[in-house]
Structure 1
Amino acid sequence: IKASFNKFGKLLPKDGYFIINGDSPNMDILHDVKAHIVKYGKKSSNNVVIENISFDGLGCGSFDLNYSGKHIGNFKLHVPGLHNIYNATSAIIASIVSGIDVDTIKEGLLDYTGVGRRFEIKGKYHDATVIDDYAHHPTEIKATLSTAKRFKKGTLWCVFQPHTYSRTISLLDEFSEAFYSADKFIITDIFAAREDDPGTIHSKDLVERLNHNNVDATYISKFEDIVKYLKENIKPDDIVMTVGAGPVYLVGEDLLKQED
């Protein structure tokens, strides 16, 4: 992956721009890149420094940007999470170097409300918020749950459906470290997608790892049983997150249908 990014970077002309998260450890992808390199992040050593970060009640961020020592403005988002502040910053820089004025950039950011299955607020069940997210890689899951944790008032529930046997077994260690932000974790059967079951990995293996890491994890196979379990246990102000690339979002939708 890093080699591919490096190859892409070396295709840029000298008067082009390579915009990169300078807080990332993967700076070796810049090797032999001739374009202007613009690093951004919270570290003061970056060309563009993200400052004065704050979040509203839904976890949506506002922040200042300092570009080469010059304050260029305060920006507000209508999508939640620190990861979206980083994403927005890269888009802001790309817009600025393309000649777009700051006021237009601010308006564009406020108009952006996200895409389906990316921290999508589906509704409420007895004053508990139901959210769905497509995250199925440990890094994505950490970011998603960290965002939810920022504005939770009650218990944060995560209903996770692992995606493919090969990914689950190859990233089992990473998955076992990805769910600390959740208070209660329910895992259902692995979504096979294109694969056949090799018989070498099961969702119960991940539950065992999580319990060993002091994560409150429970295995429930059927979606209807998960919905029933949630109905019996969630309380007002809780957050229920369905997470995964498969049809796990149906758990949240079925739960919302139970609203009296």
Structure 2
Amino acid sequence: MLQLKDIKSVYFVGVGGIGMSALARFFKYEGLHVAGYDRVATVLTRELEHEGIDIHYEDDITQVALNYHDRESTLVVYTPAIPETHKELTYFRAKNFDVRKRAAVLGLISKGMNGVCVAGTHGKTTISSMTAHLYKQSSVGCSAFLGGIVNNYKTNFLHDKQSRYVVLEADEFDRSFLHLHPHLALISAMDADHLDIYGDAEQVNEAFLEFIERIESGGVLLYKAGLPIEDVNDEIELFSYSIEEAADFSAFNIRLVNGLYHFDMKSPFGTIKGFKMGVPGLVNVENAVGAIGLALLGGVEAHEIKAALPTFEGIRRRFQYRIKSDNLVFIDDYAHHPEEIRATLKSVKAMYPDKKITTIFQPHLYTRTRDFATGFAEALDACERVLLMDIYPAREVPIEGVDAELIKKYIKQAEVQVVKRDELFETLIKGKCEVILTLGAGDIDKEVPLLEEKLREFISNY
């Protein structure tokens, strides 16, 4: 196995993934040769190419430059989303290259640092990004590998050679987070998800308990109040956080001021008043309480946090306003699990209680749709109108009887239609449009700028 000091070239099989691209940026920053393959060109892959990372879009080993064929100095990194039959991956394995999963490489890089690891079946990208921002804007500083593009920095990777802290999004998919070495850890949610990997909710819980066991002796776990966390490692400290119930870190006096929340907070460090959000949504107040807790526990001063929090500009595709006018509000969000959809809609309804909400949702994965069809329907029923797109398959093959119609069948109150991609805009404007949400983790993001353009033209003709 190669050591970090021996690596001169790094080749990524699936470089366009959000986690993979952060690693690619790290190695490029370190001055190594970096290249990779991805299935399709995206905004993110184009950004990587602009940063000097060579990418091609065909599974063809002849397109891999010669300097990546030296197994004595080349590390090959792949994502679990890549099929085992992939020709390039098969080639590197057959030639006995050092081939590692993304999570193993992240664990290798972060080992020996003060890992601030944010886990949870939802909320982890926002909390880890907020946490990184709070550390970055303080005297403590941090590096960070994040699961979203932070608007403040236009990247998912932050580098700070002076800081021992590294903020990491700890992904439960494929049990990836079990490669990490947390010093401080946060768990935001332990809902059943990725049942194609885990089988059932009990196995999901077991994986999170294993993650807790990986926290260093003398380290800290911060968890959302109410999670089934007990009888864990007695060599670590435990703290809870919440905005709805008693907890070690808890928000109170929450109020909406000009579309953004202000709040005060009780903590083991005393009561701290005067926090102001820079991003909308009640769900983000809870995310902020978790991020503030991690920052305080890592030595960031309260006055530094109060100054930094309102400057956090959010994450690409996380409660992101595309249009905000008197005539129309258009928000784009990555929510792809029933609990995420429920939280997003709760936030939107709190902000626009008298407006009709239309949600465009693209289900992500056949297995997730099969396992949570009723949950999706119940969450989506909180809005007045639902437009369902076809399922985004990602790594999966179709499952008989599993499609968008399955979700539609369980929706009881909302007006609902299954809509083809090329009919989306025309169908949308046939109804009353006041607040529009686009939700999903697939390629719905390709439709968002097109919808924005057409909607701006549409409302200009009101």
User: Which category of TM-score, normalised to the shorter sequence, fits these structures?
Assistant: 0.7 to 0.9
Q: Match for 1:93 among 263, 272, 293?
A: 293
Q: What are the Cα deviations for residues 190-210 of structure 1, in whole angstroms up to 9, with x where unaligned?
A: 112222222221211211110
Match in the other structure for 1:104:
304
Distance 1:31 1:200, change over 3 A: same
Shift of 1:43: 5.6
Q: Which moved more, 1:3-12 or 1:188-197?
A: 3-12
1:67 paired with 2:270, answer no
Q: d(CA) in 2 for partners of 1:125 and 1:227?
A: 19
1:115-157 Cα deviation digits (max 9, x unpaired): 1111111125882111111111111111111111111242111
Per the normalisation by structure 2, the TM-score is 0.51
For the residues of structure 1 that align with 2:250 and 2:452, how far apart are their CA atoms?
A: 41
Match of 2:254 among 53, 56, 63: 53
Give every structure 1 segment of 4 or more consecutive aligned residues whose post-TM-superposition deviation is greater than 6 Å.
none
Gaps of 5+ in 1: none
Amino acid at match of 2:417: T
Task: Give the corresponding residue for 1:232.
Answer: 430
Question: Structure 2: which amino acid aligns with 1:53?
Answer: I
Question: How far did residue 231 of structure 1 move?
Answer: 2.2
| Shift in Å, 1:159 | 0.4
The corresponding residue for 2:27 is none
Distance 2:402 2:279 in 1: 35
Larger relative CO (CA 8 A, sep 6+): 1 or 2?
1
Q: 1:20-54 CA deviation, whole Å, 9 max, x = no partner?
A: 112x23223x5234211111224664222221112
The whole-number CA distance in structure 2 between the counterparts of 1:19 and 1:137 is 23
1:11 is matched with which residue? 214
Distance 1:12 1:165, change over 3 A: closer
RMSD between aligned residues: 2.2
How far residue 96 of structure 1 moved from its aligned partner, in angstroms, is 1.4
Give the 3-state SS of the residue equivalent to 1:91 in structure 2. helix
1:216 aligned to 2:419?
Answer: no
Kindly indicate whether the alpha-carbon contact (under 8 Å) linking 1:224 and 1:251 is maintained by their aligned counterparts in 2.
no
Structure 1 residues 130 and 62: alpha-carbon distance in aligned structure 2, compared to 1, 3 A threshold: same
Letter in 2 for 1:241: L
Query: Unaligned 5+ residue runs, structure 2?
Result: 1-203
Which residue identity lines up with residue 208 of structure 2 in the other structure? F
Cα distance in 1 between the residues matched to 2:350 and 2:328: 16
User: Mean Cα displacement is larger for which, 133-142 or 225-234?
Assistant: 225-234
Structure 2 residue 384 is the aligned partner of structure 1 residue 180:
no
How many aligned positions are there?
Answer: 252
Segment drifting more, 143-152 vs 4-13: 4-13
- In 2, Cα distance between the equivalents of 1:8 and 1:126? 46
